[in-house]
Structure 1
Amino acid sequence: MRALSSFLLILTLIPFASHARSISDVKLEEIIKVDASDAELSLNGAALRKTYMVINTYVGGLYLENPSHDENQILESDEHRRMLFHVLLRKVTARKIAQALKDALVLNISVEEQKELEPNINQFIAMFEGKLKRGDEVNIDYIPGKGTHVIIGGTDKGIVPGKQFADALLSVWVGENPVGSGFKQDILGY
């Protein structure tokens, strides 16, 4: 009887353990819902971003309606998606993060695309102000037909219009020159 009780206790705990993935003490939910559409997204993959190979900078997670290992398929699809990052640094200026994102974005698009997307890039960069601290999250959601919805530290910063910008921004993590090849592989679920 005692063995049966222990077995039943274990069975009740299993579902709770499967609802989140933990990386560097950051829990990422396996399934989330975004915007008013109630689109359900699954965690495609998650990774720890280190700078200078020693500084834990953030934990990133890529959520998709239809998980995929293929970055081209992800970029071509016109479905909801979320790239989130959870800040691990004690304190960092939002502008520094924005500049790092812009630098990484420019590495992954052509000069022509950069010129075409300059107003979108500037709008996105302007959303980052103040400081971010350990535990803050940045959610970058692509909403089909609308664009890139940005929430920084729980504050809704608005929407940058267009899918082209959303795809260019996601290339920071899954493009030809991602923030890290291991990071890219992890968020693609390899």
Structure 2
Amino acid sequence: MRALSSFLLILTLLPLHAHARSISDVKLEEIIKVDDSGAELSLNGASLRKTYMVINTYVGGLYLETPSHDENKILETDEHRRMLFHVLLRKVTARKIAQALKDALVLNISREEQETLEPNINQFLSMFEGKLKRGDEVSIDYIPGEGTRVIIGGNNKGTVPGKQFADALLSVWVGENPVGNDFKQDILGY
């Protein structure tokens, strides 16, 4: 009995390690680091994105420095964040993904914002080339003071400057017209 008590005491004193969350066989870490700044991001929420209600397209996760259920608060804060997605399709052109992102983006911003952000949108779209396949990962990081860094399949494709573009892009998933209402609720942690 004493050995069991000692063992349980030792377990309670060990540091807790972050576990991964699994969705559709994709593991998403609960805590990640995004760059050399040392910023730690927590998984705010994650979801499976389906197209036409039957095709598993990707698993997405929203990571934040300060987790929140409030999309307005998330967009207002000037903190690191990551929108991460794992491709579930067997194969898809990167341009097709980029075009889908652009279509969703323009649904969530005004015409004036679209005109202002046109150079940023074009720079972002140019980062998507070649093909993506099941298991590929795309990270879209907002880095305060820099902008939106895009990493596709482990390759840093560059950074689109400014917070305005980063906020507009995040609206694809948490804006007025998200890619899916259930997806939005899930990544907001509801």
Matched, 1:151 2:151: yes
Per-residue deviation, 1:4:
4.1
Which residue of 2 is the match for residue 182 of structure 1?
182
Which residue of 2 is the match for residue 137 of structure 1?
137
Structure 1 outlier segments of 4+, above 3 Å:
none
Which residue of 1 is the match for residue 125 of structure 2?
125
Which residue of 1 is the match for residue 93 of structure 2?
93
Letter in 1 for 2:54: V
Compute the TM-score of the two structures, normalised by the length of structure 2.
Answer: 0.93
Which residue of 2 is the match for residue 169 of structure 1?
169
**Counterparts of 2:36 and 2:4, CA distance in 1:** 44
Deviations 1:1-41 (A, max 9, x none): 6x949x86xx69xx56x511000000000000011101000
**Counterparts of 1:25 and 1:64, CA distance in 2:** 22
Helix, strand or coil: the match of 2:129?
A: coil
**Counterparts of 1:144 and 1:99, CA distance in 2:** 26
Deviations 1:130-185 (A, max 9, x none): 00000000000000000000000111000000000000000000000000000000
RMSD of aligned residue pairs (Cα, Å): 2.0
Q: Which runs of 5+ in 1 are unaligned?
A: none
Helix, strand or coil: the match of 1:86?
A: strand
Helix, strand or coil: the match of 1:148?
A: strand
Helix, strand or coil: the match of 2:37?
A: coil
* Percent of aligned pairs sharing the same letter: 88
Q: Which runs of 5+ in 2 are unaligned?
A: none
**Counterparts of 2:68 and 2:90, CA distance in 1:** 33
Aligned residues: 186
